[in-house]
């Protein structure tokens, strides 16, 4: 049992790992600000226009089968 005001010795942060979330968000910001974004967008466009499209569509369909539906906040109109 941990004592108030004393850091826990366990790296487990419980539900919602703030450290991992912060690291992920920082990595996403670095990527978004890098020049790699345009290159990756062109690669994705090329993949969609090529024979890889069928494979991508199949992967998307598999993912959608596991979905609980679209987040209503995404489609909400202001």
**pLDDT band with cut points at 50, 70 and 90 for residue 24:** very high
**pLDDT band with cut points at 50, 70 and 90 for residue 70:** confident
Total residues found in the chain within this entry = 78
**pLDDT band with cut points at 50, 70 and 90 for residue 15:** confident
Task: Measure the CA–CA gap between 45 and 38, rounded to whole angstroms.
Answer: 11
pTM for the model: 0.46
- Tokens 């609980």 belong to residue: 68
pLDDT digit string, tens, across residues 41-64? 999 999 888 889 899 999 999 988
Structure-block tokens of residue 11: 């790296």
Task: Measure the CA–CA gap between 65 and 63, rounded to whole angstroms.
Answer: 5
């Amino acid at each position: 049992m941990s004592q108030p005001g004393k850091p826990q010795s366990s790296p487990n942060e419980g539900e919602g790992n703030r450290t991992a979330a912060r690291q992920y968000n920082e990595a996403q910001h670095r990527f978004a600000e890098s020049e790699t974004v345009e290159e990756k967008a062109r690669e994705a466009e090329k993949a969609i226009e090529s024979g890889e499209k069928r494979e991508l569509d199949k992967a998307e369909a598999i993912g959608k089968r596991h979905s609980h539906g679209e987040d209503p906040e995404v489609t909400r109109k202001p």
